[in-house]
Amino acid sequence: MGMPDMVTAEDIEKVGPLTRQQPRPHKSRPSYDGSRNSNRTILTTLLMSTILFIPVFLFLITTVAPESWKGNISAWLGSEIGEDNGGKGFESESESWRASSVQGDEYLIGVGKADITGPCVEINMMGYADPKQIGTGLRQRLYSRAFIVADPAHPADRFVYLVLDTQSGDTAIRYGILSGLQELGADYADYGHHNLAVTGTHSHSGPGAWLNYLLPQITSKGFDQQSYRAIVDGALLSIRRAHESLGPGRLSLGSTKVYGANINRSLFAYLANPEEERARYNLSTEDDGSVEKDLTLLKFQRASDGKNIGVLTWFPTHGTSVLGNNTLISGDNKGVAAYLFEKSVLGDETAAEGFVAGFSQASVGDTSPNVLGAWCEDGSGQMCSFENSTCSDGKSQQCHARGPLFRANDEGTSSCFEVGKRQFEPARKLYDLLNRKPNPVRGRWVKSFHAFHDMSNYKFQLPNGTEAVTCPAALGYSFAAGTTDGPGAFDFTQHDGNTSTTSPVWRVVSGMLKRPSEEQIACHGRKPILLDVGEMHSPYQWTPNVVDVQVFRVGQLAIIVSPGEATTMAGRRWKNAVGSEISMLFAEESGSVTPTVVLGGPANSYTHYITTEDEYNIQRYEGASTLYGPHTLAAYINVTLSLIPYLSSTASTRPPNGGPEPPDNSNRSLSFIPAVVHDAPPLFRGFGDVVQDVEKMYHRGEAITAKFIGANPRNHLRLEQSYAVVEKLVSTAAATSVASQNTDGLRGSELLVKALRGKQDTSGANDQKQWQTVRDDGDWHLIFRWRRVNELLATSEVEITWETESWATPGRYRLRYFGDAKSLTGAITPIEGISSEFELIEDRSG
């Protein structure tokens, strides 16, 4: 008896429309998959590498109630959310919200968020593996979001789950975080390999040059310490904030359907799975099982006042909404979803200050956010071929997947925001439902395990008794074909790429790097090996052979932490196996209920893809990128199940460290990334001078741009700060009202706002006016761009653009730039610039 194991979409439909109440002012802020253009450039740069390497909230609700995000976010969300109630947005169901009584077990819970935005210019972006995709600015800051759960009776039994706005987790990053935790002292002694999960949202729009192994370093010209330290230090800060916020609380678990945010980009391979297996997941035309439509949400509610401190969700869709020709840093669609959720609860009485929303990946391998499918951009108006994603010329270069708003000429930005919104909306509805109808997590146990496992030549038995073996890592010919999210180059194609269908030159290139042995070729079966990366160790390892195997358990929830991108069916098999094993082994545990199993990743390292054996044999991109041969998935499941007993409620030991540990290459990686030499303003000009000023008046919905004489942003990452802000002229009384609110526990750009308030421009003091920050570069619609004007003279310009929202409050504004200039002696000096004032008025139709 009691509550169902999960709150479902059907439950959501029964509760009817949400009711809303007046918003109030509030301050809170707390693949490398070789996709688009990747393989064209990877193979070119691999040739180069033979020569080069082998021999050697966000926030700013700062002002007054009319600017409240809570009141205005509904303008983005369409008529079904908010517009029917005057655009007031999400609200609690009752006029006077009261915390629901959650009857589940009590835990210690904490959340934290911190800035991890690395160098936004002059560094290759991570994901599409195109060396020409170099960062030129910032659309949205990147964050680490930390979630900690501990057993109050045994506080050492805990785990911390990180959601980073990065392409993946990583070995070097994880080592760096663990080292930093040790340096924090005895208070952090309970954190270690066994209970730290470092997951990435799989955004393809962040700076690269931070990964541990050589292969992803090739297109970024090596390893960049600044990019690496930004992630490590920010992740540590988010863990510290979560740890310092630990307190009694309860967890609630639910699921809902998300439509219009993912499709299967390798349906031909998915259909190779057994028909009877596929039929179990084919529920309707809209939910045909080819991808998972379920979003699982874990809600964190503190006991002291019943307020929620955060949510952690799992849903699969690739971070490839923003295209490979984009050069602005952002968190892609997962970053948008988290941004919208965190803004939506500002001023919401159900949510505590510092609320953190994590949108983690799930079985992402064969998913795409480009939901209109793959089309030939050759004027034919035809879809790409089903089997190998080519066009009429037999090549893949013209085959591109289309996002929901693909006609917008904005590098996929509009589609990205839309797909992020499509994840946020049902997640927010589920959150509201769980506030009214909690589905508590039950079972006091908080358990975890982690093990390193060598996947090269691992022998084990399949469930049918057959002996199987994995192989040293290798990538197939179809890896170089890319995907419909990002096609490759030359004559590589998915599914049928091999030595007989491609130019002989690639066989020569492959052999120059490392010719695979006959044993290796036989081990990989249907995969024609292009890059024998697992057996390439010069100047250091190209890809991992040692992988992370990890699972967390709290109550009925089990979290598989996957180091690779599991496909839809691979993820299902892995989750089903873990769920069955937990049910069998722990059936007698007091209060145990049917387990809910989720899969998060890519995490801790990056081991490319994990497909079923049937999908592997099709050898599309995902199969060709399954590193350890046809039995890769079976090996992951085998090792995971062997360690499940360590999740018992009575377990007091950890798995023995039986395998070799992967190397930490963070201090030995090569780098050919040039440093910033110095900055200088043009003759007779100064840093911060306005080069292009704003006009006197704009309508809402118009873009407002100013340009300044600037300096290289790599001089100072301005973590927890901003390069660009929008300031509004407001009354002193309104500013004082906001500034006087409690500022304890500020996080993120709240700290920037507090600092800015401390040095406000008081030029309007005589008329009781002063400038207040209302946007910063954590906000999606404020864009910061930088360009080098003259390399020899070291001059550069900064462009700040505010894409004014339809709901922005009319008033008087200005744009402000913050930077840091480097002298020839190496000294770093803060600089800033301010545009002229401008008036923002109602849109033309209004």
- pLDDT, one tens digit per residue, over 762-771 is 444 455 789 9
Same domain, 193 and 292: yes
Q: Which of 368, 562, 666, 669 is catalytic?
A: 368
Using CA atoms of 13, 14, 17, 23 in order, give the dihedral in degrees to the nearest 10: -100
Query: Rounded to a whole number, what is the distance in angstroms from the first to the last CA of the chain?
Result: 56
Per-run averaged pLDDT (10 residues), the chain, 846 residues:
39 32 33 39 41 35 35 42 34 49 84 98 94 96 98 97 98 98 97 98 97 96 98 98 98 98 97 98 96 98 97 98 96 98 96 98 98 94 93 89 95 97 98 97 95 96 96 93 81 75 65 89 96 95 97 97 98 98 90 89 98 97 97 98 96 85 96 97 97 98 98 98 97 58 35 34 58 96 97 97 96 98 97 98 74
The answer as to whether 386 is a domain residue is: yes
- According to DSSP, the residues that pair with 163 across neighbouring strands are 145, 199
Same domain, 630 and 702: no
Neighbours of 161 (CB within 10 A): 25
Give yes or no for a contact between 163 and 315, defined as CB atoms under 8 angstroms apart.
Answer: no
Please say which residue of 613, 647, 681 terminates a domain: 647
Give yes or no for a contact between 605 and 167, defined as CB atoms under 8 angstroms apart.
Answer: no
Same domain, 251 and 304: yes
Residue whose C-alpha is closest to residue 303's, from 97, 104, 590, 92: 104
Sign of CA dihedral 270, 579, 6, 552: negative
Give pLDDT, residue 258: 98
Same domain, 640 and 769: no
Same domain, 637 and 761: no
The answer as to whether 277 is a domain residue is: yes
Q: Dig out the tokens for 582 from the structure.
A: 């937990």
The answer as to whether 528 is a domain residue is: no
Residue 705 in 3-state DSSP?
strand
Provide the whole-model pTM.
0.87
Convert 440-501 into a string of H (helix), E (strand) and C (coil): ECCCCCEEEEEEEEECCCCEEECCCCCEEECCCCCEEHHHHHEECCEECCCCCCCCCCCCCC
CATH code for the domain of 774: 2.60.40.2300
Same domain, 569 and 701: no
Residue whose C-alpha is closest to residue 387's, from 271, 255, 502, 307: 271
Same domain, 381 and 275: yes
Same domain, 44 and 131: yes
The answer as to whether 71 is a domain residue is: yes
What's the number of domains the chain is made of? Answer: 2
Please say which residue of 595, 629, 647 terminates a domain: 647
Using CA atoms of 691, 692, 693, 697 in order, give the dihedral in degrees to the nearest 10: 180
Same domain, 732 and 626: no
The answer as to whether 502 is a domain residue is: no
Same domain, 622 and 729: no
368 labelled catalytic: yes
- Domain carrying residue 816: 690-841
User: CA 68, CA 782: separation in Å to the nearest integer?
Assistant: 17
The answer as to whether 379 is a domain residue is: yes
The answer as to whether 476 is a domain residue is: no
The answer as to whether 540 is a domain residue is: no
Same domain, 737 and 591: no
Same domain, 97 and 198: yes
Please say which residue of 647, 664, 680 terminates a domain: 647
Give pLDDT, residue 102: 53
Residue 357 in 3-state DSSP?
strand
